[in-house]
Amino acid sequence: MPMMLLISPSTRPPLSLVSSSRRFLLPKRSSVPLPYSPSPAKMSWLGKIGLGLGSRAAAFPPSADPAAASPDDDVPAPGREFAQLGAGCFWGVELALQRVPGVSSTEVGYSQGLIHQPSYEDVCTGTTGHSEVVRVQYDPSVCRYEDLLDVFWSRHDPTTLNRQGHDVGTQYRSGIYFYSQEQEKAARESLERHQEALNRKIVTEILPAKRFYRAEEYHQQYLAKGGRFGFGQSTEKGCNDPIRCYG
């Protein structure tokens, strides 16, 4: 009888914490690579890695749907403005932005892609062109757009192309997606200031905000609701507790 070779599943990297010892707008970025964001139970492991690590060049992308390429024309609440930011896995980024005074609501989703109404599984193939983003509603009389950008820069490494720690794929790219000329100007000036402080080139894209597709409900406020382990993390305004990326 021929010998059978059993292959064990690869071991996930150990969990790590993203520490914060500064004020809430400038949380300290851990020197430890950000942990791999686990896929939900319904998603296959092979679908997560995409067999090409999400490279657009490694797969044939679908034809662009005009609906997906249109501007985000949703309307914020009266007296509020939108901001749309992509900085790797959207769970931790959302929690950091929830804590900013003046932010009235957050939601995670997919933007800047090619297909209409993508699912998480679609996006994780790396062929749809979407980025994982957080869309914020904020009160500009309390919170400046630049304050949100400070949180954005502090939450990820903007010099790694299509990658944040163990998360690899175009959906994890760094991006600022603006809703006005004023936001675009602020974003470019902010990038220039941060580039002066780094010895590596920032690869963050700055583009008009395309249509926003709200992610599945289990992704919304994921860490605040308890994450993988059921221990909810604080969304209190001004909180600078370390963010546990898995929950």
CB 164 within 8 Å of CB 37: no
3-state secondary structure of 155: coil
| Most distant CA atoms of the chain, gap in Å | 75
- Nearest to residue 24, comparing CAs of 236, 244, 246? 236
CB 162 within 8 Å of CB 170: yes
3-state secondary structure of 123: helix
In whole angstroms, how large is the CA radius of gyration of the chain? 18
3-state secondary structure of 171: helix
Residues taking part in catalysis: 89
